Structures are given as structure tokens and as C-alpha cells.
Amino acid sequence: MTGPESLVTGTAIYLNFLRSQVDVLGQPDTDAIHREFALAALRDTVPAPWTVSHLQAAAAVLT
């Protein structure tokens, strides 16, 4: 975390992840394993979106 730009970038990544999971669910020929992952990802992330604490923890792992 280097400043406000880190939060904006993290939010963009989060929204892109959610969009990609919705795209997976919108494809009728998606394999069951991918559909299950997408459903779980949406179920587990939408009710509890990332916070600054989540981003800081992720940054700590990477550094």
C-alpha cells in the first residue's frame, strides 16, 4: 500500500474479478468445475467486499 492509488487499483482488480466470474456464468458451455468456482467466488465476495485491511494483507504477502 503506497497511498490512495493502491485502494483504487485494488478496487479495479476486485471489480474485474467479479465481472470475469459473471462472464463465466453467462456462458452455457462452461465446465461444471468453472461454474462452481464462479458461483462460490461471487457468493463469498459480494456480501463482504475487500477492505483496506484485505489489500494491506495481500500487499504484505507479496513483499
Domain residue limits, the chain: 4-62
Mean pLDDT by 10-residue block, N- to C-terminus, for the chain (63 residues)? 67 87 94 95 78 75 71
* Nearest CA among 8, 10, 9, 34 for reference residue 22: 34
What is the per-residue pLDDT for 28? 93
| CA separation for the pair 4, 61 (Å, rounded) | 19
Q: Which residues, at least 6 apart from 55, have a Cβ–Cβ distance to it below 8 Å?
A: 1, 6, 7, 10
What is the per-residue pLDDT for 3? 64
Place of cell 489489500: 55
What is the per-residue pLDDT for 7? 66
